[in-house]
Structure 1
Amino acid sequence: MAPPPPPHPIDRHVGAMIRAHRRAAGVSQEELGAALGLTFQQIQKYETGENRISASKLVEVSRALSLPVGALFEGVDVVAGGGESLIARFMSLREAAPFMEAAVALPEPVRNELFRLATVYATEDKAAS
């Protein structure tokens, strides 16, 4: 028997966006699962793209996380073209949600300086590579 095919890149992307928005909202897999009548294991499978998620469940997820369903598809056009969404890459980082919360809480001048510094460090890192 042949092994199952790997998850489709768009399924993985949508799953990564679910994970990112769930983390940003401070919701555990258990809590999201309970809100949807699912186990945390099923939420894990959705988030990894191992299991495809139905349209109706996508709507339920978006409601549980208080966001428009379209937010789960941000960057999907990049993935469909064979690339990897910058948003999905960032949001899959464990530090993404706390970083965003901290950045949003900063006064605007401090936040702007943080973004400027991040850009400088990223540019220097690329130049060194």
Structure 2
Amino acid sequence: MSKPPAEAPDPIDVHVGKLIRARRRAIGMSQDELAPAIGVSFQQVQKYELGSNRVSASKLFAIAQALGVPVGTFFADLEEAGADLSVLSEFGDFLVLNGAAELVKAYRKLSTDQRRVLVDLAQVMAGS
């Protein structure tokens, strides 16, 4: 008897997982360090970060505390994205890139004019 095909992870679970991973990496915490702080194995942390396992409310609260952010951090972009969950995927994909956390930290320190110049430069460099 064959197993039924596994369902694809919910895009919101994937988004939350990417934000968990991005925050964990931004503060220099490994999966091995996060796991005991929230009472799970590092393999479970991997599954949360991939979105293949949903994070319960109580576990998400523990994760937020361990990572030093409000729980709402993991949902902030959902209302803005509305039905266009592809926006979430692009944002989440960006956050887990090497150097993204450093770029965001530096960007937040720039003036409005400096941000515009940086965005213009990035668009020219990307050819768009």
TM-score by length of 1: 0.80
Deviation, structure 1 residue 60: 0.3
Deviation, structure 1 residue 23: 1.1
Partner of residue 31, structure 2: 29
Number of residue pairs aligned between Structure 1 and Structure 2:
124
Partner of residue 43, structure 1: 45
Q: Which runs of 5+ in 1 are unaligned?
A: none
State the Cα deviation string for residues 21-47 of structure 1 (Å, max 9, x = none).
Answer: 111111111111011121111101000
Partner of residue 124, structure 2: 124
Check conservation: 1:9, 1:79, Cα contact below 8 A: no
Partner of residue 52, structure 1: 54
Is 1:84 equivalent to 2:69 in the alignment?
Answer: no
* Superposition pairs of residues 75-114 of structure 1, within 5 angstroms: 75-77=77-79, 78=81, 80-85=83-88, 87-101=91-105, 103=106, 113=114
Q: CA 1:98–1:82 in 2, change beyond 3 Å: closer, same or farther? A: closer
Amino acid at match of 1:95: G
Q: Which runs of 5+ in 2 are unaligned?
A: none
